[in-house]
Structure 1
């Protein structure tokens, strides 16, 4: 796929989703495309690359005819169809009407034309479907200045504007047909009073029945549309978080409990239920009130005054109590998640709490969180009671006032008896609608609160998806790394790195060592692009790390950090992490290098055998080997290893050190380690002390340094004992 074709497809999708395109993104894509020839060979990867620069991820699917029809019917537009076999036109599907599908056809040279295609043609076309997923919450404000819950609700309605408009259309028709009852009753009473023949009365009765039937059918159609919206909201949020979590800016989130934050996802269920009620019952009730008040104005001007007075009173009630209701609902939700968080903490520390013997700490902490929840729950309920009591008073006054007014108007012959009866039916309908509106306020609070909680997750900061790719390098020797006057301090803390400078030639094996807290782990995280707020310079093959697209850069990096772990999934998924281009031969080679080839072949399902999160149920040495295999599986050009050799059994340690330090290996190695076996095999070693390079040299030369000798002598027994 040519770069202009990929860009025009991505830009067309962005327009369909109303995403503003940064003009600089186009130039970034052009530069990356020229520097990465593999993008030209893989059309899907080229399109993904262009889409990420705009703010979109692409989910690839293979669709049969039924799945394509479901996708079109769901309204999940636009999406892209890319030829799966030979290069050709890419189609951006933007609409469908029956078997006619509206598309934008993008030719390989970038020319874009409007076109139509038959559904059967698309269903039989060998193509890959790419469904866009937003990178993060568009329009979100980063940092601590988040959008208001009300703004989030409006943004949700805008995203679903087409189907929401259809729901409101059905609701409007339902409200109009609901007037068939009072109007029909008015006419029937008038005819019966006048002694008219039976036939017109029967016709009017049929009119009322048909009106009620049509109103019911419209309600069902409304529910169908709302169900589609509910499914789309769930899918959009789940897929959005699937894109967001691997791209989180961990530096900005240092100190945050990210797994606990993900609990907010379950508020999507509340959003679904609340949205359904607000778009159906609440909308219908609101239109009933509106149409009822409009109809009353035709009976007598006095009814108009009552209607205006009613609307004014309702506005004052909502304006007075609404902010209190939302504030208490947000506080209640906060304590709800604090309760859940403490439950997770107890489960995480179950062994420690169990071995503590008799302790009331778990119960005492839980009591404090539950007390906070109940406090704000009661405050929120008090607001709902106040709103309910206000409406009871309003209903009583309105009912009595309109009965008195209607009776007086009938006595004075200003309205007929039929109009009086009809007006009272309308009044009952209006008051019933008002009651539904007030009852739905709790749903409104739940909706806004859930949107706020979910929004604080979708607003989490992400790595920037733009930048340069690593320039051409010697594939047999890895990449070159240069660090110049590097300093780094965590927010609110003292500097951890102070003026660090060194150079790692392509293919070299370099170690950074030091006592605990010397800064070696921080240094490796800077090199991995995880801590971008550093001072000084870091370059890879002559390009500053700040200018690189960190997502593409990390595809060249194999890593093993203390926080590395296995997740619930297959062995293959844990090794490849879904990275494109990892072949079966590379997997087998990584398993052979780590001594796991025979063990994996002996598993019931081989590479497709599922493992539990954290490697539960697997021996520790197998987990450590799998993590090394993960680092080697993608054919990395840069290996970053942080304390990766601690606790390894001696035999495997010698073998893996021999593999990693092999002079014929195709990677560059930068490792933070105090292990003497690994340090002795390194080409060069840098000794860090309080964030500065205190000494450097080969292993034998550094043994003359007392600080270095203290590190390796204290590390030797620890490594042996752990093994």
Structure 2
């Protein structure tokens, strides 16, 4: 997890990030025009409110003197109505602006999440990131609706009431200040507890979302393993931790909320008791006492609003800390200019399509730790049921104690050639494709594309030249057309149908009268594993980039569909460069070059016949007909 910056700090009793009020300002400034209107309305409402006790005192004085009230009573009624109407409109603006703050914060978070370095996704849990976009941003709503957006009006009412009460009777005011000061001290002590408990609660809610996302995403595996009860217990334990953190917030809030009420009641008793005595002594008259009591209520009202907002604002600050933690992360291109300036930016002569020059690479420690944790959780889920180990339980990265995955890898991929990468699981095959795509950059050495160091190339331009089919062939929820046009938004229906026919997926179109508009389900659940893989390959073929990267692209196919796939790839490969991570011997034998990897090192390069003769590891893999 990145070190918090720009004002983010961590509670001594909680590892969660905490934000400051200052960090709310950018969110509020996006709506400064509306907030200016709210401020003006607050002043207007405060003025109308503060005048009312003075008019009431005048009314009482005239009644005592037997004078006619005249228009005075209608002015008082008009002020009450005006104050109510202004308050209602102000409330609407605050509610709308609060919703807008949530919307804008979600947009900023979504934009940031989609541009983070791949290492951040590898090191963090998806559910926790989703929780920040949903649950955490919602809590910012309280900043405006229950927080300090209308604080100007409340402050004016508070100050105005203090001044008026000072003029009427300084002795009574002094007693009120003592009561209010004691209440404020209690709230100040509890405020820190609320913020710490709220931050902890949001962290637990994020962990809960991650657990639910993990379970639902693997529901078939969990069902097949009979692990529903264990998963339920694990997630319920996390939910229990979130509940306990919420109880801490509730306990602190339960003390804060009544404080204002107690302050009002004690203050009122003091005013009535001492004030009655001072009326009897002639220090003040009845009208002044009534006006003082009215101002007392106006004094307590903003104070009660402030006390009540303590919980809401602290919840928002805890959530903002988690939001700001993501917003403060560097995006994928943060250091691109610095990197580009440090490497050659011109192509070398006789350049290969792709070249690795003495490449060393280590995954960040946080990524290695996160993958090991995920693997441990998966194995734990299956262990008690004696279910088979997942196919990816031993996938890359396989690293040494220092996290190193590639160790001095060098090879060239000539333009227009087909190169296969083979080796045992964890050898570093998939990592090489990640480096070509610039999901990561080498720790040392260089990856060249068309003779130029990839770090000197614009990422979008680089990836536009590459077609990449991942090992797990992910399918996006949506339609078949949505998946195909992900990299080729301008492709016609005819082009989509043609590429589907090339990978033997025409039958999928015939299943539904919707054709290309048929839904594939969440993560492609309505397709078989082989169909998802072929759809991913079709997506890459439709884009027709000059370089294709295929990561075990035929691993889920039967013999017939593998043959069709090889024919499709052969057809589109004409004039293009292919780098294939091979799963089967049949994918390897026709390659122009085969690179054998083992424990992050190149242990052999050559044709199939040359490697059979010279490289024992390749000979062993070929004998088992399984290169993965």
Equivalent-residue separation in structure 1 for 2:482 and 2:9 (angstroms): 32
| Shift in Å, 1:142 | 12
What is aligned with 1:650?
559
Structure 2 equivalent of residue 185 of structure 1: 56
More deviation, 228-237/276-285: 276-285
Q: Contact (CA 8 Å) 1:274, 1:446: kept in 2 or not?
A: no
1:176-575 to 2 correspondence within 5 Å? 176-197=47-68, 201-267=69-135, 268-273=137-142, 275-278=144-147, 285-302=154-171, 305-306=174-175, 309=178, 312-351=181-220, 353-354=222-223, 361-362=230-231, 364-366=233-235, 368-388=237-257, 390-411=259-280, 413-464=282-333, 480-492=353-365, 493-575=402-484
- Higher mean Cα deviation, 225-234 or 184-193? 225-234
Change (3 A) 1:234 1:406: same
CA distance in 2, matches of 1:368, 1:599: 42
> Alignment partner for residue 600 of structure 2, among 677, 683, 691?
691
Shift of residue 262 of structure 1? 0.7
Hey, what's the Cα distance between the residues in 1 that align with 2:457 and 2:177? 62
Q: Are the structure 2 counterparts of residues 302 and 430 from structure 1 closer, same or farther at C-alpha, using a change threshold of 3 Å?
A: same
1:711 aligns with 2:609: no
Partner of residue 175, structure 1: 46
Aligned to 1:57: none
SS at match of 1:342: helix
Per the alignment, in what secondary structure is the counterpart of residue 123 of structure 2? coil
1:164 matched residue in structure 2: 35
Cα distance change of structure 1 residues 578 and 547 upon mapping to structure 2, 3 Å threshold? same
- Mapped to 2, the partners of 1:324 and 1:264 lie a distance apart of 22
Alpha-carbon distance between aligned partners in 1 of 2:597 and 2:33, rounded to the nearest angstrom = 60
Query: 2-side partners of 1:710 and 1:320: how far apart?
Result: 70
Provide runs of 4+ in structure 1 moved above 6 Å: 137-145, 280-283, 468-473
Distance 1:554 1:566 in 2: 19
Distance 1:540 1:358, change over 3 A: closer
CA distance in 2, matches of 1:279, 1:625: 55
Write the deviation string for residues 121-172 of structure 1: whole angstroms up to 9, x where unpaired: xxxxxxxxxxxxxxxx997989999562534333322333332232222222
Deviation of 1:560 after TM superposition, in Å, equals 0.9
For 1:142 and 1:650, how far apart are their aligned partners in 2? 57
Residue 553 of structure 1 and its aligned partner are, at CA, apart by: 1.8
Secondary structure of the equivalent of 2:122? coil
Correspondent of 2:518 among 606, 609, 612: 609
Unaligned runs of 5+ in 1: 1-136
1:637 and 1:141 mapped to 2: Cα distance?
45
Instruction: Give 2:383's aligned residue.
Output: none
Whether the 8 Å CA contact 1:142–1:461 is kept in 2: the answer is: no
Post-superposition Cα deviations, 1:158-217, rounded to whole Å, max 9, x if no partner, equal 3333322322222222122122331221110111112212xxx24111111111221122
1:478·1:667 contact (CA, 8 Å) conserved in 2? no
Match of 2:581 in 1: 672
| Structure 1 residues 252 and 362: CA distance shift in structure 2, 3 A | closer
CA drift of 1:707 comes to: 1.3
What displacement does 1:253 show? 3.7
* 1:312, distance to aligned residue in structure 2 (A): 4.2
Provide the C-alpha distance between the structure 1 equivalents of 2:586 and 2:41, rounded to a whole number of angstroms: 74
Partners of 2:424 and 2:598 within 8 A in 1: yes
Contact 2:360 2:405 in 1 (8 A): yes
Tell me the distance in 2 between the aligned counterparts of 1:663 and 1:192.
98
- Relative to its length, the structure with more strand (as a share) is 1
Match of 1:125 in 2: none
Question: For the Cα contact (< 8 Å) 1:479–1:668, is it kept in 2?
Answer: no
Q: Is the 8 A contact 2:18 2:320 kept in 1?
A: no
Looking at both structures, which has the greater relative contact order when contacts are Cα pairs under 8 Å and sequence separation is at least 6?
2
> Matched residues in 2 for 1:593 and 1:612: separation?
23
Q: Which moved more, 1:604-613 or 1:296-305?
A: 296-305
TM-superposed deviation, 1:686: 0.7
Change (3 A) 1:291 1:564: farther
Name the structure 2 match of 1:109.
none
The root-mean-square deviation of aligned C-alpha atoms, in Å, is 3.5
Cα deviation code 1:689-719 (max 9, x no counterpart)? 2211111011222222331122223235x99
2:25 aligned residue: 154
Q: Does the 8 Å contact 1:177/1:214 carry over to 2?
A: yes
SS across alignment from 2:275? helix
Query: Unaligned 5+ residue runs, structure 2?
Result: 366-401
SS in 1 for 2:119: coil
Between the aligned partners of 1:587 and 1:269, the Cα distance in structure 2 is 40
Aligned-residue offset at 1:495: 1.6
Conserved? CA contact 1:223–1:280, under 8 Å:
no
Structure 1 residues 249 and 153: CA distance shift in structure 2, 3 A: same
Greater shift, 459-468 or 570-579, is seen at 459-468
Q: Distance in 1 between matches of 2:5 and 2:479?
A: 33
- Between the aligned partners of 2:99 and 2:438, the Cα distance in structure 1 is 36
How far has the Cα of 1:364 moved from its partner?
4.1
Query: 1: CA distance between counterparts of 2:9 and 2:622?
Result: 45
- Counterparts in 2 of 1:320 and 1:141: CA distance versus 1, 3 Å: closer
State the TM-score, normalizing by the size of structure 2: 0.81
Q: 1:386 to 1:140 in 2, by over 3 A?
A: closer
Q: Which residue does the alignment assign to 2:399? A: none
Take 1:544 and 1:523, find their aligned partners in 2: how far apart are those partners?
15
SS at match of 2:441: coil
Which stretch shifts more, 333-342 or 644-653?
Answer: 333-342
In structure 2, distance between residues paired with 1:545 and 1:501: 15
